[in-house]
């Protein structure tokens, strides 16, 4: 079974459309979404519609989905994120807002094969930045393979019986075969707002039969997404950061 693993789309229709047109030429069976469909970008309804159109087998909520849909009020958000979330809440159609509100909290186990979560499987709002956080998650969970998002940084953490290893991915297409007896935490990166210094949209395909993860980086019309953000009156740093992937 081949899974598209999508995360942190953040209302960036240009990036999401580019990913979907890229995978039109690749075989895949099911879509999993790791949260943060909206917030930051200028096309919240279009990105919700696009994700719904590919009928994800599992889609979970992110922290921005919670604040944009009104489940939470964003007390912990910075000023820019909060401003974008309140703008998004006003723009969302009633139907899309209800759909976002109904997204489940992770972790969710997909086809008894792997788990997905937004931040971590312990706390959906917490981050896994490095090996210390990854080790804590490995110690307190028992998923052999878990995909996570939230940090917008594509990376693989591997726990073998004697060591934890960080595997940095290499653009534009990074292929990695999972080994037996090793546990993995895998971040496919962000489609709509990468933060690893590479502005290309990032996502993963996981082939559960061959146990191969491929992380792809896709070019998209960044200037068009930036132009929409500025035209909508959203904070300028949200447009600027798309060009540098920070």
Inter-residue contact 119 to 148 (CB < 8 Å): yes
Phi then psi for 148, rounded to 5 degrees? Answer: -140, 165
Contact status: 124 vs Fe ion (CB under 5 A): no
Q: How far apart are CA 227 and CA 49, in angstroms?
A: 21
CB closer to Fe ion out of 67 and 205 = 67
CB closer to Fe ion out of 30 and 195 = 195
> Which one of 36-44, 67-75, 85-93, 178-186 is the stretch in contact with Fe ion (CB under 5 A)?
36-44
As measured in angstroms, the least distance from the Cβ of 36 to Fe ion is 3
> Which one of 23-31, 33-41, 47-55, 225-233 is the stretch in contact with Fe ion (CB under 5 A)?
33-41
Q: How far apart are CA 24 and CA 28, in angstroms?
A: 9
In the bound state, the residue with its beta carbon closest to Fe ion is 36
Inter-residue contact 200 to 171 (CB < 8 Å): yes
Contact status: 196 vs Fe ion (CB under 5 A): no
Q: How far apart are CA 148 and CA 146, in angstroms?
A: 6
CB closer to Fe ion out of 67 and 159 = 67
Contact status: 36 vs Fe ion (CB under 5 A): yes
Q: What is the CA radius of gyration of the chain?
A: 17
> Which one of 3-11, 123-131, 140-148, 221-229 is the stretch in contact with Fe ion (CB under 5 A)?
3-11
As measured in angstroms, the least distance from the Cβ of 121 to Fe ion is 17
As measured in angstroms, the least distance from the Cβ of 16 to Fe ion is 14
> Which one of 4-12, 18-26, 153-161, 175-183 is the stretch in contact with Fe ion (CB under 5 A)?
4-12
Angle between helices 44-53 and 79-91 (to 10 degrees): 70
Contact status: 8 vs Fe ion (CB under 5 A): yes
| The pairing of beta strand 212-218 with beta strand 173-177 | antiparallel
As measured in angstroms, the least distance from the Cβ of 48 to Fe ion is 15
> Which one of 7-15, 53-61, 91-99, 196-204 is the stretch in contact with Fe ion (CB under 5 A)?
7-15
Q: CB neighbours of 35 closer than 8 A, spacing ≥ 6?
A: 7, 8, 59, 60, 61, 62, 63, 64, 65, 103, 106, 118, 124, 149, 150
Question: Which residues of the shown chain bind Fe ion in the complex (CB under 5 A)?
Answer: 8, 36
């Amino acid at each position: 079974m081949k899974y598209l693993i999508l995360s942190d789309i953040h209302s960036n229709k240009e990036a999401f459309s580019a990913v979907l047109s890229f995978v039109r030429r690749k075989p895949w069976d099911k879509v999993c979404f790791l949260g943060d469909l909206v917030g930051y970008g200028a096309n919240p309804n279009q990105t919700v519609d696009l994700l719904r159109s590919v009928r994800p087998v599992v889609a979970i909520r992110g922290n921005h989905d919670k604040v944009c849909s009104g489940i939470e009020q964003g007390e912990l958000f910075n000023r820019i994120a909060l401003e974008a979330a309140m703008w998004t809440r006003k723009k969302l159609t009633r139907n899309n807002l209800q759909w976002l509100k109904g997204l489940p909290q992770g972790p969710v186990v997909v086809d008894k094969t792997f788990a997905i979560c937004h931040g971590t499987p312990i706390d959906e709002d917490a981050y896994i930045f490095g090996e210390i956080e990854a080790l804590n998650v490995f110690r307190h969970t028992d998923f052999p393979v878990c995909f996570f998002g939230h940090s917008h940084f594509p990376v693989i953490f591997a726990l073998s019986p004697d060591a934890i290893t960080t595997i940095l991915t290499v653009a534009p297409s990074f292929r990695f075969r999972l080994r037996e007896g090793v546990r993995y935490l895998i971040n496919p990166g962000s489609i709509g707002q990468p933060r690893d210094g590479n502005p290309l949209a990032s996502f993963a395909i996981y082939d559960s039969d061959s146990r191969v993860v491929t992380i792809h980086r896709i070019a998209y019309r960044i200037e068009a997404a930036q132009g929409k953000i500025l035209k909508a009156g959203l904070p300028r740093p949200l447009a600027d950061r798309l060009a540098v992937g920070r």
